[in-house]
Each structure stands twice: as structure tokens, then as C-alpha cells.
Structure 1
Amino acid sequence: MTPYLEILTTSSKKSSSQGTYKIPALHALSEITASLSSDNNLEELLERFLSTMIRLSGADAGAVRIITSDGKHLRLVGSIGLPQDVIDKEEYVPLECGICGHAAREHTIQSDNHPSMCREVTALNYFGDGCKNVIAVPLRHKGKVMGVYNLFMATDSPIPEDLSLLFFSISEHLGIALENARLTRENMRISLTNERQMLANEIHDSLAQTIAYMKMRVALLREALIASDETMSNKYLNDVDEAVESAYSGLRDLLGQFRYRMDPRGLVPALEDVMLKYCDKSLVNIDFVNFTQDLNLTPNQEVQVFHIVQEALINICKHARAQRVKLTMEIKEGQYLITVEDDGIGLKSINNQQNGLHFGLNIMRERAQRLGGDITIDSQIGEGTRLQLKFPVTSDRKDKNA
């Protein structure tokens, strides 16, 4: 049993006045624990428990402030019973301000029976002579102060020890909520940065290569036109036309990929979903055989594998004229092997005619290099194509299987 619960349990033996808030206090602890996992609005959560602390302590008013990102100020995020001019004046106060600064420095509950310091800083009087005591309760998590609760009392009596312990417990729990909110913001920023970087990589891998090819072909077309070489002019014009079509198709696929991102459950569910999508789109029957029961890939590795398989399926749908496709995942001799096989017309008959396929293969090879692996392609005219991605299992995974 934790110390504050021991005190609350035994407080009824001391005096009935100390036991009057025992049941509400236990209810408050239960409520705050439940709210940490279900309440999405942090500021509403902080203000709601400000009301609880005011009720338990018998305070006339209260405020809750959190430390700003610069670490130098306290921002007022909730208040009860304060005049509007005080709220306007104290939206931001220096971290070292008065009793709040003292509580933040000492990591302990502070009490000021003569709140002259607060009045000097704010140049305001909260309740005239009615405010006899100001209490500051630091919001803490793992030794770090993240905010302060203020309670404004009409009496100068100190709050009981067991209630102080309860407020410490509340502050620790709410400190966890503040830390979780900070981590969530950081994760969102990291995710946004990663998404932008991924989009930049996708554009470089697909559109940039196609446009560079078009630029070279336009230069050759210009030279052929100057030389009045009709045969070469037509050839380069056809090359540019095919490259434009490839760029348009690539852009459309790219937008589709980012509109429907990889399944957050992981690689296998994402591959199952994309196979269903292409089965419905192309009427090709796709079989998925997974011999790897415990994938140990990083999120970046999963994304690379996902897009390689997706690009392979796009190429099959566009060029292979296949009826059946088989996707296999396995581990052999410390290597991941991802194989895509189709029963289509084969690559050699179309490899020199479809620029879109050529660029798609280059993109897949670049992705394989990022995985530290490579791609091999076996194909015969009329006998289908077999594409295999091979890349090493991480050392952690090798140890796990040893």
C-alpha cells in the first residue's frame, strides 16, 4: 500500500475533520488514473483536477500553469474563481515568479501566508484582503517539474499532511499526462518529417529519373530536327511521348501510394491488402505464401519491401498479361527472400520497348540497395518472370533464431 493511501485509510482514526475528504480523495485518484488513458484534451484534464483540488482543500480559487517550451515561463492553461483581469494579466509569467518559482526550484509544495510577492509581481490583488494563503503544488514527472497548481485560500491554516501527500500523488499522475503529451508531439513531428523525406525520395526515384530521361531525349530530338533526320526525329519523339506517359502514370501511382499508406499493423497485413487491391483491379489471381512467422524489420525496411512488391505488381498488371502471380516470403542462410513470380509473356519481349517498366526496375533496385540487398530477375519469352529480392537478416534476428 502506498504511503498516501495508508494515511487516508488511517485518517479516520485521528479525527472526523481529517476524514471528511477521504472518500472524495480516493475517488479522485481512481478518476485521474482512468483519465490518463482516455482523455485526449490535456488542458481540460488539468482544469478538471484543479476543480478536484479546490474542492478537497476548501480553496476559494485556483489556477494551473504549465512550463512553456522555452523553459522560462509558466502559461496559464486553466483557472477557477479568478477575476478576468488577473487571467488576462497572468497568461504568461516568468518561471521564477514568486511562490510558483519556489515550488519549481524546490520540487515541493510551497505555502505563502503573506502573498505579498504575488501581488508585487502581478500588480494585482486576487481577492483583496480575503486571500490569506497561496499554495503552489508542482507538477512533476521523473524528477522534472512540468507545471504548477495554485490554490488561493481564505484562511492561513496549512493544509493537512495527508492532503499534501494526496496532492503530490495527483501531481505525479498529471505529470505523466504532460510528459505523454510532449512525447506525442515529438512523435508527430518525427512522423511528419519522415513522411516528407519519404515523399522526396519517391519523387526522386520515379519522376526525377523519367524527367531526366526526357530531357536527354529532347536534346537528341532537337539535333535530329536540325539535321533534318526524319527517322531519328520520329524515334526520339516516340521516346519522349512514352516517357511523358510513364511520368504521368508514375505520378498517379505515387499519389495513390501516399493516399493509401502502408498498413500501420505491419508489412504482412499491408501486402495482403495491396494484393487484394490488385486482384480486384487486374483480375489476376495472386497467391501469398509466408514462411517467416516472425519478421524483425525496422519500419523503414518494411516500407522499402512494401514498395518493391507494389512496384512489381504494378509492372505485372501493366505488362505481363499474367493470369496467376505468387508472392513468397522466406528466410534462408541469414537472408530474407521475397519472390514474385508470374505466368505472363516474359520480360525479354518487352524490355526494350516499355520505358515505364525500365524505370520501375531501376527504382526497385535502388530500394534493394537501401536494404543492403539486391534484386535478381529471371525471365523467358512466354514462360513468365521471376523477381527475387534478397537482403540480410539483422544481427538481432540472427541471435534470436540461433
Structure 2
Amino acid sequence: MIAVIPVPTENSHNQIALETELMASLQPSQLAHPENLEALLGRFLDSIITLAGAQAGAVRVLDDDDASMRLVAHLGLPADVIQTEQRVDKNCGVCGQAATADVLSWVDDLSVCSHHGSQHFFGQQCKSMLAISLPYGSKILGIYNLFFNTKQPIRNETLTLLRLVGQLLGLSLHNARIERERLRVTVLKERQEMINEVHDVLAQTLAYARMRIPLLNDAILKKDEPHALKYLADLRTAVTEVHDNLREVMTYFRSRMDPLGLLHALHAIAESFHSKNAIELEIRNTVPHLNLTDEQEVQIFYVVQEALANIAKHSMARHAVVMICSTPQHLEFLIEDDGLGMDEPSVATIVTSAKPLVPSTHFGLDIMKSRAKRLGGSLEVGSKDGVGTRVRLQIPHHRTNELAS
């Protein structure tokens, strides 16, 4: 017999305590990580099974085709049941009822389930089963099942809490799907960004090299050794520049933007900055709400990342700071260090006899300025009161409001 159980409405002190405990443990940060979803569902299955007095449990999620349900978490089920229940039809029995409407469905005739190939479990070890919807808004995203070795009815207050669990797990599934879509879009944007960067920073140098090839060829044919050597040197310089530029572009995209946002990404860098570079990095933020779009956060992250990379490579600093503040006209990001500054050669410069780091020649600074321009803002690079270096990125408030809306 299949029964659709009406949603109970009474509350008790015990139920409220259980709801409070459940809400406290289901933090938004947990629900936002799709890679943690199965672990989250499995962890709560244990508590749910104990609460309901069940012997096993399972969570099923609707596939993208909306025609079948996939088993994503389980506890207490025999191996052959797990195998046969990996994917079931959306309209199958009591599970189908819970998958098409926001209900709690109870069944104590498990003959339909036993037809899946688990006859020794359904109807024997398992005498009855409860199916609870996992809703989000008007949509059902999946269900969870509880399996019992008796036909003992469940108390109404427990059913209320089980339904609440279903709603919260439905929220977790919704958040996981949103996060997966956000990550997919971010990856696509980063791929396009990489294409743009490669084109912007390599095209001009390659065009220059291409122009030198016929000149070199003519000089060789004319046996004009001085000019041939000059054009050959130009080509070597261009190829070296292309190689260095390409490596630097690739370095940008090895560090993907943190899905939890700009501030989380910056704090993550700060946590490991000292161990990697022997430089203390501090993040100071005085702006409660940045109101930035995903694209803005990605561009700002790469600007700050490049500034910090320059500090690590060239500054010989002991301390660096990233400050986020707001002026009447701008949202401002300041990256400062107490190192040598831009006019002093670094250790690497002394050893290799390379040119000092200056804004007009350093490739990374050109990229940073290009990103600032895309943000509708400006970038300033200079010395900080005669000690160290300061990078100032400013974005007009009207620009952030416009893109965030």
C-alpha cells in the first residue's frame, strides 16, 4: 500500500531544538561547494536515519534529462541494491510520486521495488519505505528514501523535521547546480580572456619579427654582413620576448579565480605568501560591500596577483599590504611594499645585468594597465614615499554600479 502523508504542522520543543541544530550545521559555505555535495548528503543521511529510526537511506537526484533519478548518496544498503538502484525511472512507484510533487510518500508493499532485482531486500529485510521530496521553489530536484525493517508508523513531529531536511537538501542541490554553472561560465570567460591576452601581447612582436625576415633574407643575398647580423639580432630579441611574454600569460591563468569570490581569493594568497616568498602579506578591507560583477572580480584579481608577483620577484621587501578602500569617486585597490622600490635594481637584476623594473618596459605592468582600462578605471605605479612600490587601481563608482546591476 502506498500512502501520501499529509504535511504535519505541529511544533514541539524537541523539534525546534533539532531544527536549530540542523540549520546551524548547514552553513551556506557548505552548500556552495558542488564537490562536497555527496559528502554533505552522506553525512546527513546518518543523522536522518537515526532520527527516523530507519535502517538505511539513500539520496537520488534528477538527471538533466528529467526522466530518471541517479543515486548520489547511500548508507546501510546492501551491495546488490546499490548496484540495481544506481539509476531508476522518475515515475517509478513511490519514488516517482515524491519526484513529481512535494510530498512524503509511505509504502509497505514493496513488490514493485523487488522487481528491480533485489528481492531478498525489498519485502524481506526492508518492510517499508518513506520517500521525501527535495524541492526548491516549485521544482523537485530529487528525493531521499528511508528504509525500515518494520511497518511502525513515524511520529508527526519527526515527519515535519524530515520534510524540513528535504527542503534544506533541495536548497543544497540548487546551490550546487548554480555553482557548477557559474564555474562553467567562468572557465569559458577565462579561455576567451586567454585568447585575447595571447593576441594582444604577441601579435605586435610577431608582426615585427615577420617584417625583419625579408630584410634579413635580402641582406644575406647581398652578402651585407653588418645588416644581416643586425636583423638576426632583432629576430632573436623578438623570439625571446615572445617566449617570455607567453610564459607570463600562462602564469596568469594557472591561478584560477577562486569561486568564492575576490576577497576569499586574496586571503588565500595571503595565507601562503610568506611561506613562498618570506614576505608578510596583509589584506585590509574597509569596504563592507564591493558590489562587483564576476568579470570585474576576475580582472581585479589578476591585477593584484601580478602586482604581488612583482613584489615577490623584485622588491626584496619584508612586508606587503593590499588595501581596499572607497573614495567619493572611486573604489580603490592599493598594493604596497617596503622593498627596494622601482628605481633600485633587485638581486636578480644585479646577477643577470637585466634592466631595472620600470613601467615603460615591464610586460606585466602593460597587462595590468590593459586590465584597468577594461574595468573603466586607471592604474598608477610608482614609489611609496621613497621606500618600496605602490600600485593603485581605481574604478569609478558609476562604473561598478553599472556593471553590477
Question: Residues 86 and 124 of structure 1 are in contact (CA less than 8 Å); yes or no, is this contact kept in structure 2?
Answer: no
Q: How does 1:2-401 map to 2 (within 5 A)?
A: 6-9=10-13, 22=14, 28-37=18-27, 41-122=36-117, 124-129=119-124, 131-258=126-253, 264-265=262-263, 298=293, 300-301=295-296, 357=361, 367=371, 370-371=374-375, 394=398, 397=401
Asked if 2 retains the 8 angstrom alpha-carbon contact of 1:267 and 1:302, the reply is: no
Looking at structure 2, the residues matched to 100 and 137 of structure 1 have their Cα atoms a distance apart, in angstroms, of 8
Mapped to 1, the partners of 2:45 and 2:122 lie a distance apart of 19
Name the structure, 1 or 2, with higher relative contact order (CA <8 Å, separation 6+). Answer: 2
CA–CA separation in structure 2 for the residues paired with 1:175 and 1:313: 41
- Return the letter of the residue paired with 1:357: T
C-alpha distance after superposition, 1:157-182 (max 9, x if no partner): 54333222121111112222222222
Matches of 1:243 and 1:201 in 2, distance apart? 20
Distance 2:79 2:308 in 1: 63
Contact 1:336/1:392, CA 8 A, preserved across alignment: yes
How far off is 1:149 after superposition? 1.8
Q: Is the 8 A contact 1:61 1:81 kept in 2?
A: yes
Tell me which amino acid in the other structure corresponds to 2:43. Answer: R
CA contact (8 A) 1:339 1:389 kept: yes
Q: CA deviation at 1:198?
A: 2.8
Alpha-carbon offset, residue 269 of structure 1: 9.3
Structure number with greater Rg is 1
CA shift in 2, pair 1:134/1:363, >3 Å: closer
Q: Distance in 2 between matches of 1:201 and 1:375?
A: 20
Q: Provide the residue aligned with 1:351 in structure 2.
A: none
d(CA) in 1 for partners of 2:308 and 2:161?
60
Q: Distance in 2 between matches of 1:81 and 1:293?
A: 46
Which residues of structure 2 form unaligned runs of 5+? 1-6, 280-286, 314-323, 336-340, 345-357, 382-390
| SS at structure 1 position matched to 2:73 | strand
Q: CA offset at residue 339 of structure 1? A: 12
For each residue in 1:252-307, what CA deviation from the matched residue of structure 2 results, as whole angstroms up to 9, or x when unmatched?
Answer: 4334444567893399999x99xx9xxx99xxxxxxxxxx9997665544665776
**Judging changes above 3 Å, is the alpha-carbon distance between structure 1 residues 89 and 210 closer, same or farther for their aligned structure 2 residues?**
same
Cα 1:56–1:371 shift into 2, 3 Å: closer
Aligned residue for 2:26, secondary structure, equals: helix
Partner deviation per Cα, 1:351-376 (whole Å, 9 max, x = no partner): xxx9x939889767755663457999
Aligned-residue identity in percent? 40
CA distance in 1, matches of 2:56, 2:392: 69
The answer on whether the counterparts of 1:99 and 1:118 sit within 8 Å (CA) in structure 2 is: no
Name the CA shift for 1:67/1:206 in 2 (closer, same or farther; >3 Å): same
**CA separation of 1:330 and 1:232: change in aligned 2, threshold 3 A:** farther
Aligned residue-pair number: 350
Distance in 2 between the 1:96 and 1:117 partners? 12
The answer to whether the Cα contact below 8 Å between 1:207 and 1:250 also exists between their aligned partners in 2 is yes
Q: Which amino acid aligns with 2:189?
A: N
CA displacement at 1:209 relative to structure 2: 3.0
- Aligned residue for 1:62, secondary structure, equals strand
Q: d(CA) in 2 for partners of 1:339 and 1:31?
A: 42
Letter in 2 for 1:34: A
Q: Partner residue of 1:383?
A: none
Which secondary structure state, in structure 1, belongs to the residue aligned with residue 113 of structure 2?
helix
TM-score by length of 2: 0.64
SS of equivalent residue, structure 1 residue 394 = helix
Alpha-carbon separation, structure 1, partners of 2:129 and 2:218: 85
**What is the CA distance between 1:101 and its match in structure 2?**
0.6
Residues 269 and 238 of structure 1: is their aligned pair in 2 closer, same or farther, counting only changes over 3 Å?
Answer: farther
The one-letter amino acid paired with 2:157 is D
Retained in 2: the 8 A contact 1:206–1:360? no
Cα distance in 2 for residues equivalent to 1:159 and 1:312: 61
- C-alpha spacing 1:189/1:136, structure 2 compared with 1 (3 Å): same
Deviation at 1:197, TM superposition (A): 2.8
SS state of the match for residue 133, structure 2? strand
Task: In structure 1, list runs of 5 or more residues that go unmatched.
Answer: 10-21, 282-291, 319-328, 345-353, 378-386
Contact kept, 8 Å, 1:301 with 1:371, in 2: the verdict is yes
Are the structure 2 counterparts of residues 213 and 375 from structure 1 closer, same or farther at C-alpha, using a change threshold of 3 Å? Answer: farther
Question: CA separation in 2, counterparts of 1:28 and 1:293?
Answer: 33
